[in-house]
Each structure stands twice: as structure tokens, then as C-alpha cells.
Amino acid sequence: MEDNAVKRAAEIIAGGKLVIALTGAGISVESGIPAFRGAQGLWEKYDPMEVAHIESFRRNPQKVWQMLSELYQIVLNAKPNPAHVALARLEQMGKLTAIITQNVDALHQKAGSKRVIEFHGSGESLTCLKCGKDYSIDDVDLKQIPPTCSCGGILKPDIVFFGEPIPPYALEESFALAQKADVVIVAGTSAQVYPAAQIPYTAKQRGARIVEVNLEPTPLTGSVTDVFCQGKAGQILPAIVEEVERLIQT
């Protein structure tokens, strides 16, 4: 990891008035949850249009639920890693206003972050496609595939499938923040899925500075990113936050 990039990132964050973070699957990789793209990504094993499109879910819920139950086994046993903890600490320090996450694993909340906007919904709750009844994941028997409602309808996790809209409150709140933020920390996202990937561009147009943390460059890196910290989020974010803490104490 490049110390200089970490220092520059920390200076930008420490000097920021409204700092937000945009996170993606990469931030949970060190918690044991596979990302979608890249080496060992889920989309190498599954075709997203077959398992993550709402039409596929409606057509063949049994098949989609096979993948979902496999993922739930991993996600429900996963714990926040030092990257999640570092962002929670930054919020506690008063230096992070909100996290916009594309993840549905609730690990930011489990790490203690309070203001988390779940841009792609949440895996913690499910809705019956027939009668609309809501369920908590704790009340669903994941051994039954697909899980069903007391009315016999099929349950769908409240995650955004391809072909479904972003929850309106998440969209509005995220873009309102993107327009006001003066710093955006982008961590562990390939920045390929829109409209989430638009957030750093919108912020940049309003003059924000972009700090990016990723194992590898993304389309943001050569365009809007001001400081690129290459490496594992679980190592880099704690180092940045430690440096921010040092800066604001002195």
C-alpha cells in the first residue's frame, strides 16, 4: 500500500465538510462474501441475467433461490471486517455523514454505522409476491426452497434485481447527498452498475473530491478520482481513518 496516497486521502477527508462514502461488494470480500465481478466473482459462476433479473425470478424462483440460499448461508454468518469498522469510526468521529452502499449484507450496520442508505435494498427482509406480506429473514425457513408465505405465495428478498427500480427514497437521498458532498470515499466497487456509479460523477461536477480505494483501477480512476489508494479495503480504510484521527486531534 502506498503511504503517500493514504496521507493525501486522509488530508482531504479531514478537511472535508460533508464527506460521504459509496461502497460495493469489494468492501465485504474480506468478510468472506464473494464480489460479483473480477477473479472468483459470482458472475463467473452464474449468469446475472439468469439469476439476478426479476423476470428470471418470476419465471423460475426455484432456480434463483438455489443461488440465493447459497449466498444467504455465507452472508448470515459473515462479520464486519476492519473496513466496515473504520467507516463506522469515521462517522463516530463526526467526519462521515452517510454511507451509500450497494451491498445487501447489512455489515455496515453491524459494524455500528448509523446512517446507511441501502441503494440496492436489503437481504434482511422479504416480501410475498402474492399478498405483499413482509417477513424478516429470521422468520424464514431457508431450508425450504423457494420459501413461501402463509398464503402460499413465493417470498422475494427486498434486494433490487436487474429490471427493478432503485427504491425511490434511496435514490433521492443519495443524489441529494452527492450534490452537497465535498468529499466522496468510493470503496470496493467496480463502478459499472448505474445509477449507483453515477454518484461520484455527480459529486465531482459539484466540485467534490474523490478518494478511491480498490484492488484495481476502475472507470473512475482515470476520470474523476483525485486520490487512488490501491489495495485491500480492510487494510487501507483503517490506515486512512487512523491518519484522519491524528490530523483532527492536532
Total length of the chain: 250
Q: Which residues contact 234 (CB under 8 A, 6 or more apart)?
A: 30, 81, 82, 83
Interface with ligand OAD: number of residues (CB under 6 A): 27
d(CA 247, CA 243): 6
Determine which residue in the list 160, 183, 186, 227 makes contact with ligand OAD, applying CB under 6 A.
Answer: 160
Q: Is 120 a catalytic residue?
A: yes
37 to 11, 32, 40, 41: CA distances (angstroms): 31, 15, 8, 5
Residue nearest to ligand OAD (CB): 26
19 vs 83 by CB, closer to ligand OAD: 83
Under a CB-based contact definition with an 8 Å cutoff, are residues 167 and 160 in contact?
yes
d(CA 176, CA 169): 10
Decide: is 109 part of the binding site for ligand OAD (CB under 6 A): no
24 vs 146 by CB, closer to ligand OAD: 24
Determine which residue in the list 5, 20, 26, 111 makes contact with ligand OAD, applying CB under 6 A.
Answer: 26
Under a CB-based contact definition with an 8 Å cutoff, are residues 18 and 183 in contact?
yes
Determine which residue in the list 190, 201, 211, 229 makes contact with ligand OAD, applying CB under 6 A.
Answer: 190
Rg (CA), the chain: 18
Per-residue binding string, ligand OAD, 218-237, x by CB under 6 A, is x-------------xx----
Determine which residue in the list 7, 15, 18, 38 makes contact with ligand OAD, applying CB under 6 A.
Answer: 38
Residues that bind ligand OAD (CB under 6 A): 24-26, 29-30, 35-38, 41, 48, 52, 102, 120, 160, 188-190, 192-193, 213-216, 218, 232-233
Active site residues per annotation:
120
